[in-house]
Amino acid sequence: MRTPNQRGQPRVLVVDHDFPELERDAGSKAIFHLTDLLGDKAKVTFWSASSSPSAEGRGVLQSAGIHTAARNDGCDLAPWLGSLTAEESFDAVILSRPMVAAMYAGAARKHVNGVCAYYGHDIHHVRLAGMKEFAACVGLAGEHREIARIERRLWRTMDTIFYPSNEEVDIVNAFRAGLGLESGAVMLPLWDAPEAPEVIAPASARGGMLFVGSYDHPPNTDGLNWFFREILPEVRRRGCQDMVYIVGSGMSHYQPPADDSCVVVLGRINDTALDELYAKVRIALVPLRYGAGVKGKVIEAMGKGVPCVTTSVGIQGLGWASVVLQPSDTAQDFACAIIRLMTDDALWNECSSKELRLLSLAYERRAVSTRLFGALGLGDVLEIG
């Protein structure tokens, strides 16, 4: 087997359903940050399985120095990989999301002479199991069984499995141990610690509450409905009349179930506008009642120095931040947590500074990079980089 260093930088292939649009959803942000991290030490190609891939997402990757290819370029993954010369071939591949990974694992195994990894984002069948408690969806039980079957097959057959929390990693490694296999799952944060804003406005200069999330992700709309029906009325009763901003891809279609003149549904906005909102709001709302994996919206708010009010579901996989992220699982507790952060400047300032410090320690870029390249069998490139 030829080692990557015999031809310079290693070549890594990332395969996902589409090119990431950073303003679309947390999954896009996570996969972009993964390619960005790989690009520090490797030549990265991102292959989209979509027949109509995002031109915007493709441009985002190309501007970051990532080579792009797609199924609609005229060739599916297997024949495209088979057409590459020895110098163009890949030293490792990362397949993102269960359905995409299931479709292309065989092609990756056949044509990539190196580690074949699966990047799960979260354990989908765990999220679907939680969804059954709160949503009556036709066919949900069958979907849950099928996704569970696919994910467990990937856990069994892939060389390396990435998830963003230690809890998910423990589930996968326990499953593999039960089959007599070595541990293969590795905790990989959604992204490395973002650079903190140069100036963070103090609590006294802020106001308003912010929810960020995609409309197409059912836990988001369920959480918002719960917030408006059971939590916000109690918040208003206690005298807090601050604005509530709803942001996210497709959220322009969301209709709050309660009439409130201080609620603004902005829908999808660009990163500059989102940063401006984070710079002025007092808290981030994450009222999730079901889901799985680490929630990107919580990490994003922490990186902006904006305290979160969330649930046990919202802090999944973030045990390292338990000193500042306290779950509120009833409507009454959630409302009380909002009022405390909206009225106590000292508490707000303490939570803001703690969140930034904890995130910088947990998601330090060099440590994340070392873990990633080591799990891909490319750890030696860090020694010469």
Residues 354 and 375 in one domain: no
Do the domain assignments include residue 248?
A: yes
Residues 30 and 109 in one domain: yes
**29 pLDDT band (50/70/90 cuts)?**
confident
Q: pLDDT at position 261, please? A: 87
Residues 54 and 127 in one domain: yes
Q: pLDDT at position 3, please? A: 45
Residues 210 and 244 in one domain: yes
Q: Let me know: does 283 contact 308? Beta carbons within 8 Å.
A: yes
For residue 68, the domain's CATH number is 3.40.50.2000
Do the domain assignments include residue 298?
A: yes
In percent, the amount of the chain with pLDDT more than 70 equals 95
Q: pLDDT at position 189, please? A: 87
Cα–Cα dist 371/381, whole Å: 12
Cα torsion 31, 36, 40, 45: sign = positive
Q: What is the DSSP string of 203-234?
A: GGG---EEEE--TTSHHHHHHHHHIIIIIHHH
| Tens digit of each residue's pLDDT (9 = 90 or more) over 86-139 | 999 999 999 999 999 999 999 999 999 999 999 998 898 888 877 767 766 656
Do the domain assignments include residue 181?
A: yes
Do the domain assignments include residue 297?
A: yes
Q: What is the DSSP string of 96-141?
A: ESHHHHHHHHHHHHHH-SSEEEEE-SS-HHHHHHHHHHH---TTHH
* pLDDT beyond 80 at 1: no
pTM of the model: 0.80
Q: Let me know: does 57 contact 69? Beta carbons within 8 Å.
A: no
Residues 164 and 224 in one domain: no
**Which range of residues forms the domain containing residue 142?**
4-191+364-384
Q: Looking at the 3D structure of the chain, how many domains does it have?
A: 2
Residues 170 and 250 in one domain: no
Residues 81 and 217 in one domain: no
Do the domain assignments include residue 116?
A: yes
Residues 150 and 290 in one domain: no
Residues 172 and 224 in one domain: no
Task: Give how far Cα 122 sits from Cα of 257, 318, 324, Å.
Answer: 29, 13, 23
* pLDDT beyond 80 at 269: yes
Do the domain assignments include residue 14?
A: yes
Q: pLDDT at position 238, please? A: 94
Structure tokens at 142: 């069958």
| Tens digit of each residue's pLDDT (9 = 90 or more) over 169-224 | 999 999 999 999 999 999 998 777 777 777 899 999 999 999 999 998 889 999 99
| Tens digit of each residue's pLDDT (9 = 90 or more) over 341-382 | 999 999 999 999 999 999 888 888 888 899 999 999 998 765
Residues 237 and 357 in one domain: yes
Do the domain assignments include residue 281?
A: yes
Residues 215 and 299 in one domain: yes
Residues 357 and 372 in one domain: no
Do the domain assignments include residue 198?
A: no
